[in-house]
Each structure stands twice: as structure tokens, then as C-alpha cells.
């Protein structure tokens, strides 16, 4: 089966951007005659056909929003997507979604072309992979755009849960319990969430004058947490560990149990995300909870402000919450 001709294909054939092709189709008066002729010629040669929705509604309010997500289907990433969908529906908007496993320019451009062909009024990008932001900087869009990313980029309309603050909360909780040697199991280095949580752990330790060890890196899975947990158990250097997500923390608890270590008597453990199972780990897990429902409505509110051209607030950073359970205790002498 032949792949569908996209607006980018037309732009390439005509020697213009896909945004110019969109203007020729929707607002031809904004484009000079010579460019219009080149684009129309490319449309005929490539037999490009516009979406019926775009053709009928391109110049009207479609009550439709595009959502592009990049990265793995992790708990926090999926919850962001679900929360935004609920907020959009509550505002009377439909959401067209494109989920990309990795951040690469061509798939992102293709996803944008499809969404623009549906005449969406705005686009939201939920970013897990920091490479997506670099790609985004090189793209131009004719519709309002909001980014949901952990780094809280200030050069874009941005809504984020403050991962840096959450990591400082987790680390401060352990330090307040008297722990001085606090290990960190970080997520992969391409992840914005992992980068901010690592930065928060390091900053909190440095602010207290506590030693900062080399972090251990996992890949978000319980298996990687188990491997890093075995390393920590063998080292004997630490009395506490902050792991960058609850799934890795589950593996850590398994490793400690296999090595005969008691949590929290021998080692205090803190996770991040507060997945539904966290309260039923053995022992129940101290972790950082994120309010994804609030995040979804803040993303939608920011996007609506852009669509309606009302006042736009500064980037929004929602505060997470530390949930204390039985996996942490004061350091034993």
C-alpha cells in the first residue's frame, strides 16, 4: 500500500515549508502568485488530497486539539496524557493523539502534518525525552502550542509538575531522619524527569553539606532497580536510597530482601510517582505523589488562553506531595 502524501511532501516538491502549503490552501491571499502556482502544481503532481475535516472546517472553530507524546508508556507519562484528555473533554474539545516511542524529527513532523490536516486549534506536546525539545525548536507551527515537560522550559508556553522540588522533598525527608549517606538510583539520561530528579537529589545534599556519591542508573524497570539494589546491598556504604520511580524501587526492595536486609531498619527507601501499588509494597512505600488531574486542567487552561488570545501567565509549575509510609525511619546508630 502506498503511503499517504503529506503536506510536507508537497512543500518539499514545491521548495517551500509545509506552513506555506497550509497558507496556500487556507489563506491564499497571504501568499504571492508565483509561490501559489508552485504549490498548486506540486499538489496536482503528487495527487495530494486534504482531509475532509480540514477542507470543511479549516477556517472555523473545530473544537479539536492535537496531542503528541514522546517516550515510553510509563506511569507518569500515561497519567499526564489521560489527565489532559479528561480536561479537554470537560472544556468541550476532542483530542487527536499521536504517540511516538522515540523523539525523532521525521515522525514528529509527520504527526504534526496529520494533526494540522485535521484543522486542530492547538497542539500539546507531552515530553519524556529531552531530544524532543531540540526538535521542537526547529519546527514552526501556525497554531498555539503548549509543552508539558519536567524541565519547565521558559522559552515556550510550559506547564509542568516540579520534579526538581519533588526530588528535594524526598531527599530532605531522609536527611531529616538523620541519614547522611543517601544513594540515588536515577532514570536514563535521555529522560527529562530523571534529569530533574537527579538534580534535585544532588542539590538537596549539597545544600546540607552531605556527601554526594555517584548516582546509579536504571531504565525505569523493576529489573534495573533489582540490579542496582544488589550493588547497594553489597557496598554497605549507605543507610538510605532515593529511587527515581516506584517501579525501580520495587526491584530495590526485592534485592534487599534477597540479601537479608530489612527496610527500614537497615535501609530507608523512598520512591517517586505514588503508583497505585505503592501503598501495598512490603513495606508500604514512602514516595512522591504528582497531581496529574490538576496538571491536565492547567495544560488545557494555558492552551485555551493561547487559542482565545487572552493574557498568558508565566510557565506553571505544580508542586508535588511527599507521602510518608513505612519504608523510611530514623537512622539507627
Residue 131 lies in a domain: no
Q: In which band, very low, low, confident or very high, does the pLDDT at 253 lie, cut at 50, 70 and 90? A: very high
Domain closes at, from 257, 273, 289: 289
Q: What would the pLDDT profile of 46-104 be if each residue is shown by its tens digit?
A: 888 765 445 444 445 678 899 888 766 566 667 778 888 888 888 888 898 887 777 77
Report if residue 257 sits inside a domain.
Answer: yes
Q: Which residues pair with 164 in a beta bridge?
A: none
In a domain, 169, yes or no: yes
Tell whether 170 is covered by a domain. Answer: yes
Mean pLDDT of 172-177: 98
pLDDT tier, 187 (very low <50, low <70, confident <90, very high otherwise):
very high
193 or 231, higher pLDDT: 231
The count of domains in the chain is 2
Q: Are strands 268-270 and 240-243 parallel, antiparallel or unpaired?
A: parallel
In a domain, 190, yes or no: yes
Q: What is the CATH number of the domain that holds 237?
A: 3.40.50.2300
* Residue 6's CATH number: 1.10.260.40
Q: Is the pTM of this model over 0.85?
A: no
Number of C-beta neighbours around residue 27 at 10 A: 12
* Residue 129 in domain: no
Is 323 inside any structural domain? no
What confidence tier does 313 reach under pLDDT thresholds 50, 70, 90?
low
For residue 301, what pLDDT is reported? 86
DSSP string covering 54-95: HHHHTTS---EEEEEEES---HHHHHHHHHHHHHHHHTT-EE
Q: CA distances (Å), 283 to each of 92, 202, 218, 254, 329, in order?
A: 43, 26, 22, 11, 12
**What range defines the domain where residue 29 resides?**
1-49
Q: What does the DSSP 8-state code read for residue 325?
A: -
In a domain, 198, yes or no: yes
Amino acid at each position: 500500500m502506498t503511503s499517504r502524501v503529506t503536506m510536507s511532501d508537497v512543500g518539499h516538491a514545491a521548495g517551500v515549508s509545509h506552513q506555506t502549503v497550509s497558507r496556500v490552501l487556507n489563506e491564499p491571499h497571504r501568499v504571492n502568485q508565483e509561490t501559489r502556482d508552485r504549490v498548486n502544481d506540486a499538489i496536482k503532481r503528487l495527487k495530494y488530497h486534504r482531509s475532509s475535516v480540514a477542507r470543511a472546517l479549516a477556517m472555523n472553530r473545530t473544537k479539536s486539539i492535537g496531542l503528541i507524546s514522546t517516550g515510553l508508556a510509563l506511569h507518569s507519562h500515561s497519567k499526564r496524557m489521560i489527565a489532559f484528555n479528561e480536561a479537554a473533554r470537560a472544556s468541550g474539545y476532542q483530542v487527536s493523539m499521536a504517540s511516538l516511542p522515540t523523539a525523532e524529527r521525521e515522525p514528529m513532523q509527520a504527526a504534526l502534518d496529520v494533526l494540522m490536516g485535521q484543522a486542530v486549534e492547538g497542539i500539546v506536546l507531552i515530553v519524556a525525552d529531552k531530544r524532543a525539545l531540540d526538535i521542537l525548536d526547529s519546527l514552526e507551527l501556525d497554531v498555539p502550542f503548549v509543552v508539558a515537560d519536567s524541565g519547565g522550559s521558559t522559552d515556550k508556553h510550559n506547564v509542568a509538575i516540579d520534579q526538581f522540588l519533588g526530588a528535594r522533598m524526598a531527599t530532605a525527608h531522609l536527611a531529616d531522619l538523620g541519614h547522611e549517606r543517601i544513594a540515588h538510583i536515577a532514570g536514563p539520561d535521555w529522560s527529562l524527569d530523571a534529569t530533574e530528579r537527579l538534580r534535585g537529589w544532588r542539590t538537596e545534599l549539597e545544600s546540607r553539606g552531605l556527601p554526594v556519591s555517584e548516582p546509579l542508573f536504571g531504565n525505569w524497570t523493576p529489573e534495573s532497580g533489582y540490579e542496582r539494589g544488589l550493588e547497594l546491598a553489597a557496598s554497605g556504604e549507605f543507610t538510605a536510597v532515593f529511587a527515581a520511580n516506584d517501579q525501580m524501587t520495587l526491584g530495590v526492595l526485592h534485592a534487599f530482601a534477597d540479601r537479608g536486609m530489612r527496610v527500614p531498619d537497615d535501609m530507608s527507601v523512598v520512591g517517586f510517582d505514588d503508583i497505585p501499588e505503592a501503598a501495598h509494597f512490603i513495606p508500604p512505600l514512602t514516595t512522591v505523589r504528582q497531581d496529574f488531574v490538576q496538571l491536565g486542567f492547567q495544560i488545557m487552561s494555558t492552551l485555551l488562553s493561547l487559542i482565545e488570545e487572552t493574557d498568558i501567565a508565566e510557565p506553571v509549575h505544580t508542586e508535588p506531595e511527599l507521602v510518608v509510609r513505612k519504608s523510611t525511619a530514623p537512622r539507627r546508630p
